[in-house]
Chains A and B, each alone.
Chain A
Amino acid sequence: MTTVIQTRNVSKRYKAVAAVDDLSIEFEEHRIHGLLGRNGAGKTTLMQLLTGQLFATSGQISVFGEEPVENADVLRRVCFIQEGQVYPDGFTPEHVLTVARGIHAGWDEETARYLVDVFELPTDRKIKKLSRGQLSAIGIIVGIASRAELTFFDEPYLGLDAVARKNFYDELLRDFSEHPRTIVISSHHIDEIAPLLETVTVIDSGKLMMRHEVEDLADAASSFSGTRAAIDEFAEYVDVLERTDVGGLSTIVVRGTVPRPVLERASELKLERQPASLQDLFVALTESARHERRARQNV
């Protein structure tokens, strides 16, 4: 599979803070990738680096095999739908569509008009007067109708209600299956978009937490629950990401596949085993990273 995006030890520092911290990731061609992380995890910064809007402090970035910064040959193949995109004063959605139509070679006007109908977007109203959901709809329409070879959606459905979100998933999948391309969606609403994704990349505090094929996620983590004493013993054998204790009962989220002998011990200890959902895994990963950071700060 061709790799479209590759970063090597990329960092973006603002004075003391590293928004992206020594990140090495890859995204392959013609797949829908999920970029997950809490607010402020560095998702937007990473996307801005990948689209040449920011200059990396260190490390290498390659998009379509080249540096994206100031590279018109790369950027013309990319569409970036940014959360909180700034639009010039006085612009209406129609103005944005006009500009996007000129910029994207693959632009499909029929799709754009169809999507304007689907999302009931008032195209002649000043953007300043639009709701958060309508603002998101502009981005979704441009992102889908541009048919760019590489499309980034940064938190694409903020402010959209349940019906509009379903519309977004439907239209994205419809257009993607007819016109395969590489799509990266960032989100912190995880379980809802999980079925759309082929791969999942989780970042936290600008660092890579994990990268998995969605179909392997069942192997990425599982949760075990049982009596506190049983869990105390079992926790010795496995890589514990998160633990919750309620009364005499405990639940732990365990990273990775659990070897058969350990599983046998689990059944001897009468532990209940369940695959962790993507959301569980995500929370567990980011929480444990936070504890580690805190522990380091306290030393």
Chain B
Amino acid sequence: MQRTGNVLRVHFADRKGTFLAPLIVLGIVVIVIGLIGAVATATGTDREALWEGMQYNGAVWALLGMGIGIGFATMGQHLSFALGMGITRREWVIGSGLMFVIMAASITAIVVIGKIIELATSGWGMGVRMFDTVHTGTGPWWQTAIQTFLIALAGMCFCAMIGSVWNRWGKTGLSWLGGVALILLVLVFGIGIIAPWEQVLRLLETLMGFGWGVWMSVLAGSTVVSAIVWAILTRRAEVR
């Protein structure tokens, strides 16, 4: 427990960098959206239409995207520093995993609280929205909570996994990873081109038809897979 605390200390020692910077980004986003709302109100734009249109507003990614930075940093400079301070790889994975959960939960708390206020005030009194959007779900608050948590956690685990590939095999490893991704992409598009249009459309329809629960399970599954690959690769990680 004490040793896990050491890992958290490495992650959270620089509080300004860890918490303040993302909150500043969030603040700027909030100001911009407030300005949009103010302009819309001043020019007499239809509030209903504005509310409707802004459900696609991607400003929440300023928060969700934090996971990417956190995931990469965990396997970049932070790992070298932690190993240098005598933390084991096992402790590092456990402690960092815990940190991922804490950070994803914090992001979720902000989004859910934001959403509740947003709905209660009819879009901050101006018909604007950034927390009750399609990205983190426009359903009930608990769906948004689960969706936000999983997206943020998936981002961290996936990027930590890429970071561990880089640690083990350097640029060559990343090239291989990119190559595999490219082949998959080509395959998908290849099928789209070769296969009859109707079939492709039907496939898309089926995919879209999957319920929220299925999509969340897919997200949770990829998070778990990324986390496992990350943990396995980190077991033999060396300082670079």
- Using a CB–CB cutoff of 8 Å, the interface residues on chain A facing chain B are 48, 51-55, 70-72, 75-76, 78-80, 82, 85-92, 95-96, 98-100, 102-103
Most A CB within 10 A of own CB, among B5, B88, B90, B91? B88
Q: Given A86-B77, A86-B80, verify A52-B16 contact (CB < 8 Å).
A: no
Q: Given A76-B86, A102-B9, verify A90-B80 contact (CB < 8 Å).
A: no
Tell me, in angstroms, the Cα distance from A82 to B82 when the chains sit together.
Answer: 12
Does B236 belong to the interface (CB within 8 Å)?
yes
Q: What are the interface flags for B76-94 relative to A under an 8 Å C-beta threshold, 1 for contact and 0 otherwise?
A: 0110110111111111000
Tell me, in angstroms, the Cα distance from A294 to B88 when the chains sit together.
Answer: 40
Most B CB within 10 A of own CB, among A82, A88, A100, A103? A88
Contact partners of B85 in chain A: CB under 8 A: 99-100, 103
Tell me, in angstroms, the Cα distance from A90 to B3 when the chains sit together.
Answer: 23
Chain B min CB distance to A136 (Å): 15
Not counting A53-B84, A91-B13, a sample of 4 additional A-B residue pairs whose C-beta atoms are within 8 angstroms of each other reads A70-B235, A87-B81, A99-B10, A103-B6
Chain A min CB distance to B192 (Å): 41
Does B211 belong to the interface (CB within 8 Å)?
no
Does B52 belong to the interface (CB within 8 Å)?
no
Interface size of B as a range:
20 to 34
Closest B residue, CB atoms, query A95: B13
Tell me, in angstroms, the Cα distance from A71 to B9 when the chains sit together.
Answer: 20
Contact partners of B17 in chain A: CB under 8 A: 88-90
Contact partners of A100 in chain B: CB under 8 A: 85
Chain B min CB distance to A92 (Å): 8
Contact partners of B101 in chain A: CB under 8 A: none
From B16, B78, B86, B238, A103 is in contact (CB under 8 Å) with B86
Closest 4 CB pairs of A and B: A90-B17, A75-B86, A95-B13, A86-B80
Tell me which residues from 136 to 188 in chain B have a Cβ below 8 Å from any Cβ of chain A: none
Contact B13 A72 (CB under 8 A): no
Does B14 belong to the interface (CB within 8 Å)?
yes
Contact A88 B77 (CB under 8 A): yes
Contact A91 B88 (CB under 8 A): no
Chain A min CB distance to B68 (Å): 15
Contact B14 A90 (CB under 8 A): yes
- Using a CB–CB cutoff of 8 Å, the interface residues on chain B facing chain A are 3, 5-6, 9-10, 13-14, 16-17, 73, 77-78, 80-81, 83-91, 235-236, 238-239
Chain A min CB distance to B57 (Å): 30
Contact A53 B16 (CB under 8 A): no
Chain B min CB distance to A199 (Å): 24
Tell me, in angstroms, the Cα distance from A11 to B238 when the chains sit together.
Answer: 15
Tell me, in angstroms, the Cα distance from A72 to B6 when the chains sit together.
Answer: 12
Tell me, in angstroms, the Cα distance from A92 to B13 when the chains sit together.
Answer: 9
Chain A min CB distance to B18 (Å): 9
Contact partners of A52 in chain B: CB under 8 A: 83, 88
Closest B residue, CB atoms, query A101: B9
Contact partners of A103 in chain B: CB under 8 A: 6, 9, 85-87
Contact partners of A92 in chain B: CB under 8 A: 14
Contact B84 A80 (CB under 8 A): yes
Tell me, in angstroms, the Cα distance from A76 to B88 when the chains sit together.
Answer: 10
A–B pairs, 7, beta carbons within 8 Å: A72-B3, A75-B86, A86-B77, A88-B73, A89-B17, A89-B77, A103-B9
Closest B residue, CB atoms, query A92: B14
Contact B238 A88 (CB under 8 A): no
Contact partners of B6 in chain A: CB under 8 A: 99, 102-103
Contact A51 B89 (CB under 8 A): no
Tell me, in angstroms, the Cα distance from A139 to B38 when the chains sit together.
Answer: 53
Tell me, in angstroms, the Cα distance from A80 to B85 when the chains sit together.
Answer: 7
Contact A88 B9 (CB under 8 A): no
Chain A min CB distance to B110 (Å): 22
Chain B min CB distance to A77 (Å): 9
Chain A min CB distance to B114 (Å): 26
Chain B min CB distance to A83 (Å): 11
Most B CB within 10 A of own CB, among A79, A85, A102? A102
Tell me, in angstroms, the Cα distance from A80 to B3 when the chains sit together.
Answer: 17
Closest B residue, CB atoms, query A78: B86
Contact partners of A79 in chain B: CB under 8 A: 86
Contact partners of B80 in chain A: CB under 8 A: 85-86
Contact partners of B236 in chain A: CB under 8 A: 55
Most B CB within 10 A of own CB, among A55, A82, A103? A103
Closest A residue, CB atoms, query B9: A102
Closest A residue, CB atoms, query B235: A70
Tell me, in angstroms, the Cα distance from A99 to B78 when the chains sit together.
Answer: 12
Closest A residue, CB atoms, query B89: A70
Most B CB within 10 A of own CB, among A55, A78, A87? A87
